[in-house]
Every structure is written in structure tokens, then in C-alpha cells.
Structure 1
Amino acid sequence: MYTDDSSRTGAIAAVCAFVFWGMAPVYWKQVAHVPAFEVLCHRILWSLFFVGALLTFRSGWGTFKAIFASKKTMFLLTLSGLLVGANWGLYIWAVNSDMVLQTSLGYYITPLVSMLLGVGVFKDTIRPIQLCAVLLVVAGVGTELLMLGELPWVSLVLAISFALYGLMRKLANVESLAGLMFETVLLIPFVLYYLISIELQGTASFMHVNALTDMYLVGAGIITSLPLVWFAYAACRLRLTTLGLLQYISPSLAFLQGVFLFNEPFSMGHLFTFMFIWSALALYSGEGWLQRSRQSLHAEKV
């Protein structure tokens, strides 16, 4: 049941989450002098403490302990942990390699990849307009390949990895904070091994550059975890249609930053690519909204 108050607070939480994600490139640019993999490791390490604190004060550790009762759940969360770690690492590298526009394109494509996974895994029906949206995405990727002579591989890997991450989390069906904690704990041994190794080699950045760099690396845990908490809060209080439309705030902000703040090249080839993607999203979102409106009207008549 969606009440006005819960929908309002859910919408506020969703907007906060997507604005946070959308503005993340500005944050990661502050640690562009730190190797991307080292930033990723600090992102995971400090998330452990932040998520652990949230789990302690918000939902308790019972949901986390329950994960270990199911080998299937543990396996799915292991896969999701590896996928989200790879996604985070590529995202940070891309932002600091002046590919913010590619990250924007990737997260625009993600919902459509998720739809295709729904068709393949859950046997969801793909409606004609949705198929048109998918074909427009293919046309957009093809346009970039033909006009710019390059495949937007960063966009595709980000979209596919995050969509697969969402699929694994849906199949695992665990409470969001408990699942995030499991994924973080899973990656911690590798993180500690790497951070200790570079410290012993004398190539670590943490505690060896300046206090501001240290602050940004520690803050990476909050930047990673806080919007996930807001998103989980919103997902319980908003209709999927509303949440789906609001999620485009994030790649739109990244797009604006890439073009106007970071002055990344934006040619006619890029414009045509994004026009295809935006058209696909307009079709996909509009068709979904109309479909749910018809279902609601039918339910009221019955």
C-alpha cells in the first residue's frame, strides 16, 4: 500500500540517492592521482565499517547471519559481490580516464539490459514497443561504432555488469544491508592483501600523500553505502514505475558533467548515439507507465 506520506519520503530518498550517484564523478576526480584499483580497495574497506555500523543500529545482524544458512544464497551473493566490485572498479577508472560520458551512456542502457535478462531468466514477455526500444539501443551502439570507429565497451561492460548484479540480488532475495555486508566481507581479504602489499612496497597513497587525499579515500565508504541505503528505503515505498523514471537523474547528471564541467569531446557521433538511447528510454518508460495505468484502471473496475 502506497500512502501519500510514504511515497513523499520515498521520492525524497530516491532523489537523494540518484543525485548522489550522478554527482559521484566530481568526488572521484579528487582522487584521480591515486591508482583506480587502490581507490576501489579503499571504497570497499571503509564501506565495511559504515555498513557494519548501519547494520548494527538499523536492522541488526540476524539477517546477515541468516545468509549462511543457504549455500545457494551465499553463491549468488558471491557472484553479485564480484560483479559489483568489477563495476565499481571500472567506473572509477573510467571517470578518472575522462570517460564520464561513457559511464553515463552505460547507466542509461542498464534498465534495458535488465529487461532482456528478465525475458531470458524469468520468461517475462517482451512487448512490441519494448522490442523497439532495444533495437534503438542497438542502433545507438552501432552509430558510435560506425561514426566514431570505436565500440563503447566501457558503457556496455558497466551496463551488463550492473544488470547482472541486480539479477543476482533479485535471485538471492536478501535484505539489502545484509547482502551488501556479505559482498563487502567477501572482498575484504583481497582488499587487505593488496593494500598491505603496496604499503610494504612503498607505493601506497593512503597516509603518504596529504590529509585531504586520506579524507577522500575514507569518505569513499560513505559515498558508496549511503545512496544504497536511500535507494533501498525508496524501493520499499515507491512504485517501480516512479523509481524507474527517477533513476535517469543519475546518468543525466553524469552526462551534463562530462560535457559542461569536464569538457569531454562531444561530436555529432556522440549526439546521434545519445539521441537513439534517449528515444529508447522514452519509449520504454512511456510504455511501462501506460501499461501499469491500464492495469490499475482495470483493477479498480473489477
Structure 2
Amino acid sequence: MSQPPLTPDRLDPKQAALAAFSGYFIWGLSPIFYKFLAFANPSEIVLQRVVWSAPILFALLYVSRRLGPALSVLNDRKTLIVLVCTALLIGANWWVYIFSVNSGRVLEASLGYYINPLMNVAVGLFVAKERFSLLRAIAIGLAVLGVINQIVTVGHLPVFALIMAGTFTAYGYVRKTIQVDARVGLFWETLIMAIPSLFVLTVFEIQGGAQAGHFFDGPHYAILLMMTGPMTVLPLLLFLTGARGLSFAIIGVLQFVAPTLQFIVGLMYGEPFSLAYLATFIFIWLGLAVFVFELLHFERKQKRAGIRPA
């Protein structure tokens, strides 16, 4: 079957893979950037991230001539309600991630992103009633064993990892209930959060003390806080651009680039990593290996049947 013609929104496979990989690469090294923001508390960082992302996304919609579809969302009450819910979920995810990074828990943050694909599989099986396979059940079982090992041998539940995986999985699942372009949806999610964020940041700047804002403390602080916008939008844009030209199997493999780099960054910063903790990761990695094998096997079956992957 012939390939569809390439368009500005659909790159050839090599360019698409490079774009998606670049997005995951930036996400993977993002803990290094957020370490430079340790002068601010996680709440201020998330608020600044939202405020500076909104105008960038508006500009992208304007350039790509998608302001019309974006404004049409205002006429759809159900879609707006769903976007409010997804805004809260992604905001919570960002907060936990930044708190984990700046409290020396980058390894746990990476664990959360490793768990996320397997949690998606679990939601697909038990909530969305998607096709059940033995390999998918094994992948989920190995992830569960990893969490149990973390509780029994390491001595604590990986709370931040589970919250990150849970909020992002819920975000993706709820987001699928509405037919909205990814960039349009993200614009409204950030705008929904940006309006109250501006108010809270103003309060931070006025009240001083432990909750003081840092934007006006000097150009160094202001530039770092403003950079949270591009650091949010750029990798997402690269991923969205690349995803249009790749199969689900390739995306499924590439999504492990980010947590792997985060894992390496965590080790570079000297975070404690015992053999018991390693066993948790081994269970998760084995589960992911089974998941990727099943994904690639399913794609090969589709190709043999003459079905072109999305």
C-alpha cells in the first residue's frame, strides 16, 4: 500500500523520529534545568510555567491558523468542562514532578514515567475494555511486583511516582473523551490555569516571606522563570510533530528515552540507589520489555494483514 503524501503536518519517518526523539530528549534532561530553579518553590515554578506557556501556544495557533478551531471551543460547554478537569490533572502532574526534582527524587520521577505506559495498558484493559492478551497481563503483573518490592524491601510506597503516573494516565484517558486538536487543547488548559496563576503570582510578589515570588529579584531569576514556558512547549511541539509520521510501536519505544535520561540524571546527582531499589526498576523494566515486545508483535501482524499503522 502506498504511503500518504507528506504534508507540513506529516514528516517522513526519519524526520518524524528525529523530532519525537528530540522532544523526549529535552524531557529527559529537563531535571537539570529545574534544578537551577531550586530558589523557587514548586508552586511558583508551575504557576510561572503556565503563565509563560499560554502566550507561546497562542502564537503557535496563530501561525498555524488554528485560532478559529480554538475559539470554537467556547461554544462547546462539555469540552470546556473536560478541559478544566484535564488542566487540573496536568497541573498536578507538573507540580509533583517539579517537587520530586527539587527535593532530590529524580529517580522516583523517572520511575513514574516508566510506570505510566503500563498504567495506560491497565486502564485500557480494565476501564476501556480493550483487547486482552497474556503478554499485557504479564507486563502489568511485573509492574505490580515492582511496586510491592518497593513497599516491602525498600520500605516505602513510591507515592510521587504513582501520583505522576496516575495523573498523566488519567489526563490522557479523559482527554480522549473530546475531539480537540492537541495544541488547541493544551492552549485552553494552560489559559484556564494562567488566569488564576497570574493572580496568585501577584499575591506572592506582594506578601513576601516564605511564599515570596522571585520574578523581580533580578534578571537572572526572571529569565530562568520565563524559560519554563519554552521548556514546556518546545518538547511537546516536537513530539506532536513527530508523532504524526510514526507508528504507535515506534512511539511506544521512544517514550522510554525520557525516563532513561532522567534515571541517569538522578544517578549523576548522587541520589541514593540501593540494590533493593534496583530490584524495583528491574521489575518495571521487564514489564516494559514485555509491553514493547507485544506492541511490535501486534504491529507486525497488522502489516501482514495489510493494515497500515496510524
TM-score class, shorter-chain normalisation, is: over 0.9
1:229 counterpart = 2:219: no
Q: 1:170 matched to which residue of 2? A: 176
Query: 1:151 — aligned with what?
Result: 157
The answer on 1:72 being equivalent to 2:78 is: yes
Q: What is the distance in 2 between the residues matched to 1:278 and 1:3?
A: 37
CA distance in 1, matches of 2:100, 2:219: 25
Greater Cα offset, 49-58 or 98-107: 49-58
Show CA shifts across 1:95-121 (max 9, x none).
Answer: 000000000000001011111222234
**For the Cα contact (< 8 Å) 1:67–1:73, is it kept in 2?**
yes
User: Using the alignment, how far apart are the partners of 1:62 and 1:7 within structure 2?
Assistant: 30
How far 1:177 moved relative to its partner? 1.2
Any stretches of 5+ residues in structure 1 without a counterpart? none
1:18 maps onto 2:18 in alignment: no
Instruction: Report the counterpart of residue 256 of structure 1 in structure 2.
Output: 264
- 1:104 correspondence with 2:110: yes
1:276 aligned residue: 283
- Quick one: distance in 1 between partners of 2:151 and 2:65? 47
Task: Tell me if structure 1 keeps the 8 A contact 2:28–2:261.
Answer: yes
Name the counterpart of 1:207. 216
Partners of 1:274 and 1:87 in 2: how far apart? 21
SS at match of 2:115: helix
Secondary structure in 2 aligned to 1:117? helix
Q: Find out whether 1:299 has 2:297 as its counterpart.
A: no
Q: Give per-residue Cα distances to partners, 1:135-185, cap 9 Å, x unaligned.
A: 100000110111111000000000010011111222222111111110011
Q: Indicate which of 140, 145, 148 corresponds to 1:139.
A: 145
Would the alpha carbon gap of residues 268 and 7 (structure 1) be closer, same or farther in structure 2, given more than 3 Å must change? same
For the residues of structure 1 that align with 2:27 and 2:302, how far apart are their CA atoms?
A: 32
* Paired residue type of 2:73: I
Please report how far the alpha carbon of residue 270 of structure 1 lies from its aligned counterpart in structure 2 after TM superposition: 1.0
Work out the CA distance in 2 between the residues paired with 1:228 and 1:83.
Answer: 17
Q: Hey, what does 1:247 align to over in structure 2? A: 255
TM-score by length of 1: 0.95
1:39 to 2:45 alignment: yes
Check conservation: 1:68, 1:74, Cα contact below 8 A: yes
Quick one: distance in 2 between partners of 1:59 and 1:284?
Answer: 38
Q: What is the deviation of 1:69?
A: 2.5
Matched to 1:59, the amino acid is R
Distance in 2, Cα, partners of 1:76 & 1:272? 38
Q: Aligned Cα RMSD in Å? A: 1.4
Q: Please report the TM-score for the alignment, with normalisation by the length of structure 2.
A: 0.93
Tell me the distance in 1 between the aligned counterparts of 2:62 and 2:5. Answer: 28
Tell me whether 4-13 or 234-243 shows the greater mean CA deviation: 4-13
**Contact persistence 1:18–1:250 (CA under 8 A):** yes
CA contact (8 A) 2:21 2:254 kept: yes
**Do the aligned partners of 1:144 and 1:151 also contact (CA within 8 Å) in 2?**
yes
Runs of 4+ more than 3 Å apart:
1-5
Task: State how many pairs are aligned.
Answer: 298
Q: Distance in 1 between matches of 2:65 and 2:166?
A: 31
Unaligned runs of 5+ in 2: none
Question: What's the offset of the Cα at 1:3?
Answer: 7.3
The letter for the 2-side match of 1:216 is L
